[in-house]
Amino acid sequence: MAISSIGVGSGLKLDELLENLRTTEKKSLAVIQNRQIANTNKISAYGQLKSSLGELQSATKALSEDSFGAVKVTANSENIQITGKANAAPGQYVIKVDNLATRQTLTAAAHGSRDSAIGEGGKITVRLANGKEHTLDMKGKDTSLQGVMNAINADAELGMKATIINTGNPSEPYRLQLSAEATGEAASISTINVEGNDDLAAVLNVDASDPAASGFEQTKATNAKLTVNGIAITSQSNTLKNTIEGLEITLNKAGEDPINVEVAKDDSAALNAVKDYVAAYNKFNNAIRSLTAYNVDLKKGAALTGDSMAREAQNAMRDATLGFVPGEGQIRSMVGLGITVDPKTGDLQLDEKKLTEVLKTNMADVKNMFLGEQGIAGRVHAAADEFIKKGGRIDNVQEGAEKVGKRLQDQFDAADQRIENKIEAYRKQFVQLDVMINRMQGTSNYLSQQLSMLGNMNSNK
């Protein structure tokens, strides 16, 4: 008799018994699985710790030289744009823009084709008015008008750019136009000379002192001209960085009317930088509390409850932020800025009114509090870096946790295989039991039939 499933032959629920045994045996795997879950949660929590430290470190970048002693610049015209740095002196200026700096353009004579080769090879040497000289070798390159344009634009050392203009002329529509890369007279193209390709020389050779002799049309470059408080200024560029210390002036448009500019202290930049740091610190502190919390009611900890790394990171950031700052200033700690610590949560509490007053009356001390190697910004940045840098402390503990995770998986796989081997041994025993009981039942049925037949024979006598 063929048995398709154990228990069929004997009538016993051996399949169900086998599954119950498997379920019971695999309960032992729950211990390993729980450790795996806890380890995975810890790896994730380390990632969150690293991220929150990175955000706090980033907040220190706003505590910079430009924030403390920043200036606010206003102008009564859109013809100029001015930005100020911390070293700009408060004051008033009257600026009049006479003309903007422009680029020189040289437009070659008309040409019949943009794709046909103009001779072969050659070297194009460009000399600028400032004396800079560079040579473009056309050997093996496309010498058509299109090819020359592409070669010029691909060479950043030439100091010029090229384009092709289609005039619509039916016979000679294409004109190569060359533009100086920078504005101002000194950046102008002085000469272009081609050697080794007479055909290309006939198209490109030009002396900017007499461009018409070579069939070129020229728009000369101009320097920017302006006056600042009546002082004449000339500039190669429309962006002036050193004309007034600490101010960068961008000229947008010339005009007859003078422009009034006012430069004033702007304490709001420093105020916002400090406020943002306080917010970032509290966000980090909240993340630590969440990652290390313990639920008394559930008697269950968070992913990093009891973990030394999280507490060490918290202590390092607290010490770097709240520690005494060396120096000679009157303000040497956060308390002097109106920043105190909530004793219950460890969060920073900011008295904005007091900080505003300190920034107004003692900006130098506030600046010294945050800047420099021993300043708060530098200390926090360095302390955070020990934890979050590549190969730093968090990377190391994550690597260790990942190794633990691999070992746990190996343990789980080995234990699971042992259980399956054990269940397979049970299954084989059950099969043998099923066959044996089946045979015994068959023998019993046979004997019952024989005894019944004997009984019938005796009763018929």
> Each residue of 373-389: pLDDT tens digit?
789 999 999 999 999 99
Of 54, 49, 53, 52, the residue nearest 291 (C-alpha): 49
Q: Is residue 361 part of a domain?
A: no
**Does one domain contain both 398 and 426?**
yes
Rg (Cα) of the chain, in Å, rounded? 43
**Does one domain contain both 296 and 404?**
yes
**Does one domain contain both 161 and 18?**
no
Of 187, 200, 171, 164, the residue nearest 103 (C-alpha): 187
Predicted local confidence at residue 12, as pLDDT: 61
Q: Is 101 left (phi over 0), alpha (psi -120 to 50) or beta?
A: beta
Phi, psi of 326 (to 5 degrees): -65, 155
Q: Would you say residue 27 has pLDDT above 60?
A: yes
Predicted local confidence at residue 1, as pLDDT: 36
* CA atoms of 340 and 343, how far apart (whole Å): 9
* CA atoms of 326 and 369, how far apart (whole Å): 9
Q: How far apart are the first and last CA of the chain?
A: 38
* CA atoms of 8 and 113, how far apart (whole Å): 94
**Does one domain contain both 162 and 121?**
yes
Structural contact between residues 240 and 80, judged by C-beta atoms closer than 8 angstroms: no
**Angle made by CA atoms 274, 276, 279, in degrees to the nearest 5:** 110
Neighbours of 41 (CB within 10 A): 15
**Does one domain contain both 183 and 273?**
no
Q: Report the pLDDT averaged over residues 203-207.
A: 97
Three-class SS state of 81: strand
> Each residue of 440-452: pLDDT tens digit?
766 777 777 767 7
Phi, psi of 304 (to 5 degrees): -115, 20
Predicted local confidence at residue 66, as pLDDT: 81
* CA atoms of 175 and 167, how far apart (whole Å): 7
**Does one domain contain both 294 and 395?**
yes
Q: What percent of the chain has pLDDT over 90?
A: 62
Q: Is residue 25 part of a domain?
A: yes
Lowest pLDDT segment from 26-35, 176-185, 289-298: 26-35
Q: Report the pLDDT averaged over residues 306-328.
A: 91
Query: Which range in 12-26, 107-121, 284-298 is most confidently predicted, on average pLDDT?
Result: 107-121
> Each residue of 233-252: pLDDT tens digit?
999 999 999 899 999 999 99
**Does one domain contain both 237 and 296?**
no
**Does one domain contain both 301 and 406?**
yes
Three-class SS state of 214: helix
Structural contact between residues 88 and 71, judged by C-beta atoms closer than 8 angstroms: yes
* Per-position DSSP letters for 98-117, written without gaps between them: EE--B--EEEPPPBS-SSS-
Number of domains in the chain: 3
Which range of residues forms the domain containing residue 254?
A: 71-101+224-265
Residue with tokens 């136009």: 177
Look at 10 and 30; give whichever has higher pLDDT: 30
Q: Is residue 358 part of a domain?
A: no
Q: Is residue 402 part of a domain?
A: yes
Structural contact between residues 333 and 324, judged by C-beta atoms closer than 8 angstroms: yes
Q: Is residue 278 part of a domain?
A: yes
Residue type, 295: N
**Does one domain contain both 441 and 313?**
yes
Structural contact between residues 207 and 200, judged by C-beta atoms closer than 8 angstroms: no
Strand order in the sheet with 224-228: 71-75, 259-265, 91-99, 224-228, 231-235
Residue type, 416: D
Q: Is residue 329 part of a domain?
A: no
Structural contact between residues 192 and 126, judged by C-beta atoms closer than 8 angstroms: yes
* CA atoms of 208 and 191, how far apart (whole Å): 6
**Does one domain contain both 170 and 241?**
no
> Each residue of 263-295: pLDDT tens digit?
998 899 899 999 999 999 999 999 999 999 988
* CA atoms of 36 and 44, how far apart (whole Å): 12
DSSP-derived letter for residue 222 is B
**Does one domain contain both 121 and 159?**
yes
Structural contact between residues 356 and 268, judged by C-beta atoms closer than 8 angstroms: no
Lowest pLDDT segment from 32-46, 90-104, 264-278: 32-46
Residue 176 half-sphere exposure toward CB, CA atoms < 13 A: 28
Structure tokens at 50: 């690293």
**Does one domain contain both 6 and 37?**
yes
Q: Is residue 354 part of a domain?
A: no
Q: Is residue 350 part of a domain?
A: no
